[in-house]
Amino acid sequence: MSVESVNQIRNLGIIGQGGGGKTSLAEAILFDTGANTRLGRVDDGTSVFDFEPEEVKRQQSLSTSFHHVTWKKHEINIIDMPGYANFLPDALNCMRACSGLVLVLEGTPGALKVEAERLWARAGELGLPRLAFVTKLDRENTELDAAVKELRDVLQATPLTLHLPIGSAETFRGVVDVVRMQALIAQPDGSLAEEAIPADLAEAAESARDKLMETAAEVSDELIEQYLENGTLTDEQLATALRQGVRACKFVPVLAGSGSKNIGIPALLDSVVELLPAPAELGPAKGQDPKSGEAAERAISTGAPLSLFVFKTIVDPFAGSFRSSRWFRGSSPATPRSSREQRR
């Protein structure tokens, strides 16, 4: 493990309906964090998440796949899940291994499908803190508000808009961060350059920030009092409110971008490490005492006795074979390829 403390780990599940853009987002995360030197694409079979021959052929995820990246001294385990109905049980099961989730939404009115609702309900049952990422904003007829409305009206969540898109469709080029009140403009390498908020978005940004503070303050009596007294929150109070509210599943911050155009990813990763919890913060794990058969709880702590939870098994026909081993032939652990892919 490359991090010093379990508090610097995030087990991040990427959920949403099939075709929504999850794997493309996951590929952009690998590229922007340097875990992959090229931006993998589902459509041309170069995705390292959708690597099985059947996935390459169908251009869609059939099973959950995993990678890990480091971002600002945190280790993020990325869990990219399928979203098509036939493969949903795998995703529903793997969610138990997550410490937080990103729901990927398309900003197309009426786009939300029943699979996303099912995954969302499961996340609620598990009490998993969530962010939403509205992707594909580089496409025609997409708008952030359509996704925000679906979060509120269909998924019954309390959305908090943290980003406003700058430009639309082919002119979409970045976001206004209404927490820090700055424009983040995507660069060719995926990084975000901080700029002043464009004049035509200044008013919308102010009003989005006011709305954000008003909702975020409701997370505690103390913060609501401070908000009512001063008519505002300090940056520190707002950050605290966001963290507390996300962890308590009271609201869902909404971020914006595009996976395949690699826009907005570093801001999403910042929110993942700032707002979503480490596994140890989720409270005790529940299971069964192997000796007595009684229900038992274990603190998630390096000091507690070792307990394992197997949430997925994979049959690799080449396991144990040195020459075709997954890590052989110079591929780094950060960019693993399937043994089958290596044979091609």
State the Cα angle at 129 between 277 and 1, rounded to 5°. Answer: 35
The nearest distance, CB 89 to ligand GDP, in angstroms, is 16
Positions 59 through 78 that interact with ligand GDP (CB under 6 A): 60-61
Which one of Mg ion, ligand GDP, none interacts with residue 99, CB within 5 to 8 A by kind? none
According to the binding rule CB under 5 A, does residue 65 interact with Mg ion?
A: no
Q: Is 47 in the site for Mg ion (CB under 5 A)?
A: no
| Residue type at position 174 | G
Residue 271 within binding range of Mg ion, rule CB under 5 A = no
Residue pair 216/245 in contact (Cβ under 8 Å)? The answer is: yes
Q: Which of residues 177-206 bind ligand GDP (CB under 6 A)?
A: none
Give CA separation, 325 vs 330, 337, 341, in Å. Answer: 11, 10, 11
The answer to the question of residue 167 lying near ligand GDP (CB under 6 A) is no
Q: Is 10 in the site for ligand GDP (CB under 6 A)?
A: no
Order of all β-strands in the sheet with 192-195: 163-166, 174-177, 182-186, 192-195
8 is a contact residue toward ligand GDP (CB under 6 A): no
DSSP state of 166: E
Q: How far apart are CA 308 and CA 313, in angstroms?
A: 13
Instruction: Indicate the residue among 8 and 17 with the shorter CB distance to ligand GDP.
Output: 17
Among Mg ion, ligand GDP, none, the one that 19 touches (CB under a kind-dependent 5 to 8 A) is: ligand GDP
Q: Which of 64, 258, 271, 338 binds ligand GDP (CB under 6 A)?
A: 258
Distance (Å, rounded) from C-alpha 111 to C-alpha 181?
30
CA 190, 196, 198, 203 dihedral sign is: positive
Residue 105 C-beta: closest distance to Mg ion, Å? 14
Does 20 participate in binding ligand GDP (rule CB under 6 A)?
A: yes
Mapped onto helix, strand or coil, the DSSP state of residue 130 is strand
Q: Is 23 in the site for Mg ion (CB under 5 A)?
A: yes
Quick one: which of 246, 248, 245, 268 has its CA closest to 258?
A: 268
**What whole-number distance in Å separates Cα of residue 157 and Cα of residue 148?**
9
By the rule CB under 5 A, 17 interacts with Mg ion: no
SS3 264: coil
**Under rule CB under 5 A, how many of the chain's residues touch Mg ion?**
3
Site string for ligand GDP, 96-135 (x = CB under 6 A): ---------------------------------------x
Q: Name the residues that contact ligand GDP, by CB under 6 A.
A: 16, 18-24, 42-43, 60-61, 83, 135-136, 138-139, 258-261
Q: Name the residues that contact Mg ion, by CB under 5 A.
A: 22-23, 61
